[in-house]
Each structure stands twice: as structure tokens, then as C-alpha cells.
């Protein structure tokens, strides 16, 4: 059985490659970044393939992206209320980015914006909301999916 620390160490190499993979299409398209983006957080996988992260990694009024085969956006819109959505943009499938201190998610490809509190589109070209992901809080450990 693996510990959270062992799983996190294995994921570091994957997570380190994510920012370059997300930034490259935007760089090639010549688009500019309007706001700093927060780096994806490290999580661990459950036996059923879900993600687990420490609730302290999601400050009140913000969202984080949990990297993985199916990245998830997790937000805490109000104290103690955690919500999660697929982090895959509904326009053309790019992973959206979290903004520090905000619950707005921004797609780096074409600029769509989503509410991490509701999953709803705030700005197009995307027209469909992000898919909801179940999240449970057990003693400060969030299980996603
Ligand atoms: S892929 Fe996200 S806005 Fe186009």
C-alpha cells in the first residue's frame, strides 16, 4: 500500500510538465496572459481512481486545479463549502487554470471563463458549463470523484 507521500512524489514529474503543456498552445497562438495562474496542486489517487487532497490547499474564496488524467477544479466559495468540477474546458478541451485568490477559472486557449463555485460559463467562447464532480470532506481530506 502506498502512502500519500509516495504517491505525491510520483506525481511531481507529471505535474511539473503541466504548466509547459498548457502554456505552449497559448504561446504558439500569440495570446497574452492577463492574470497570474496558480500551479496545479498535488493530490493522491483513491483505489477507485478519484483524487484526494488536503482541504487546507483550497483557501476560502479560491479554487485550485488538481492535476491528473482527468484534472479537477476544486473551490471553497464560502468557509467549509467545497465544490468540484471537471477542469476540462467545454469549448475544445484545454485544462482551465485557477487564478490566485479567485473562484474564476480561465481557459488559456481561447479565454473562456468559468465560475469554480457553480461551473457556469462567465465568458465564451465556451457555452456549456463544466461538469460537476462529487466532493466529500472527511476530517479535512477532500475526495473528488
Ligand atoms: S478550449 Fe477553452 S476556450 Fe477554447
* Cα 99 to averaged position of ligand 1 atoms, centre (Å): 16
Neighbouring CB atoms inside 10 A of 66's CB total: 29
Q: What CATH number was assigned to the domain covering residues 4-144?
A: 2.102.10.10
* Among 63, 65, 84, residue whose Cα is nearest residue 142: 84
Q: What φ, ψ does residue 132 adopt, rounded to 5°?
A: -70, 145
* Cα 5 to averaged position of ligand 1 atoms, centre (Å): 34
Q: What is the mean pLDDT of residues 75-95?
A: 97
**Of ligand 1's atoms, which has the minimum distance to the CA of residue 94?**
1
Instruction: Return the SS3 of 50.
Output: coil
Distance CA 132, CA 17 (A): 26
Share of the chain above pLDDT 90, in %: 63
pLDDT tens-digit series, residues 85-94 = 999 999 999 9
Give the helix ranges, DSSP H, for the chain: 4-29
Instruction: Determine the pLDDT at residue 68.
Output: 87
Instruction: Determine the pLDDT at residue 69.
Output: 87
- What is the reported pTM? 0.74
* Among 46, 57, 55, residue whose Cα is nearest residue 7: 46
Amino acid at each position: 500500500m502506498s502512502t500519500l507521500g509516495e504517491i505525491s512524489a510520483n506525481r511531481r514529474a507529471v505535474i511539473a510538465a503541466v504548466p509547459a503543456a498548457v502554456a505552449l498552445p497559448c504561446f504558439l497562438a500569440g495570446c497574452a496572459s492577463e492574470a497570474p495562474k496558480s500551479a496545479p496542486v498535488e493530490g493522491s489517487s483513491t483505489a477507485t481512481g478519484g483524487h484526494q487532497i488536503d482541504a487546507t490547499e483550497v483557501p476560502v474564496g479560491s479554487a485550485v486545479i488538481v492535476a491528473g488524467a482527468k484534472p479537477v477544479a476544486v473551490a471553497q466559495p464560502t468557509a467549509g463549502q467545497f465544490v468540484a468540477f471537471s477542469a476540462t474546458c467545454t469549448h475544445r478541451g484545454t485544462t482551465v487554470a485557477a487564478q490566485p485568490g479567485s473562484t474564476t477559472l480561465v481557459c488559456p486557449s481561447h479565454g473562456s471563463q468559468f465560475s469554480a463555485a457553480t461551473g457556469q460559463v462567465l465568458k465564451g467562447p465556451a457555452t456549456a458549463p463544466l461538469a460537476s464532480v462529487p466532493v466529500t470532506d472527511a476530517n479535512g481530506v477532500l475526495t473528488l470523484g
